[in-house]
Amino acid sequence: MDLDDIKAIIDLMKKNDLAVFKLEREGFKIELEAHRMPTPNVVLPHSVGGAPLPHAGPIPANVAEGPTPTTSPSTPLKEIVSPMVGTFYRAPSPDSAPYAEVGQEINEESLVCIIEAMKVMNEIKAEIKGVIVEILVENGTPVQFGQPLIRVK
């Protein structure tokens, strides 16, 4: 890997707002981390002295109620996460069937997707056994290292 390749990775990180990039291949290892200014946590009070604060409009439902779980809390789900930064593909080509579908039973050796990183297609195996309950990433979408891709029950 030469300096131009590293600059291309840095540009990719900036373009996709990625914080961390790690790549390990046959005796070569590179780790890049973007240093950003931390964003302050702002807590807005709902009232002052018992009187509600005026606001510009209604509070969105997803903020007021919080996230809604997609499965019951008693169901233990495992996640297949991205081992690298790149572009997620569900199939080997646009005309091919996807490697994995919701409801499909998989094992540790099942190929579930491809992640393209620097024009290299990396086949990603499940490394867990179960049934796919959710595919979290759209085909052709950039992914980060450690980002959940697929949920398995």
Label the pairing between strands 120-125 and 78-81. unpaired
DSSP 8-state code for residue 50: T
CA distance 65 to 59: 10
Indicate if 27 and 86 belong to the same structural domain.
no
Residue 58, pLDDT score: 46
Within-domain flag for 72:
no
Domain that holds residue 105: 78-152
Number of domains making up the chain: 2
pLDDT digits (tens, 9 = 90+) for 1-42: 677 877 888 888 788 777 777 888 777 788 877 765 555 555
Indicate if 141 and 84 belong to the same structural domain.
yes
Of 81 and 53, the structure prediction assigns the larger pLDDT to 81
In terms of residues, how long is the chain? Answer: 153
Within-domain flag for 67:
no
Indicate if 88 and 145 belong to the same structural domain.
yes
CATH assignment of the domain containing 140: 2.40.50.100
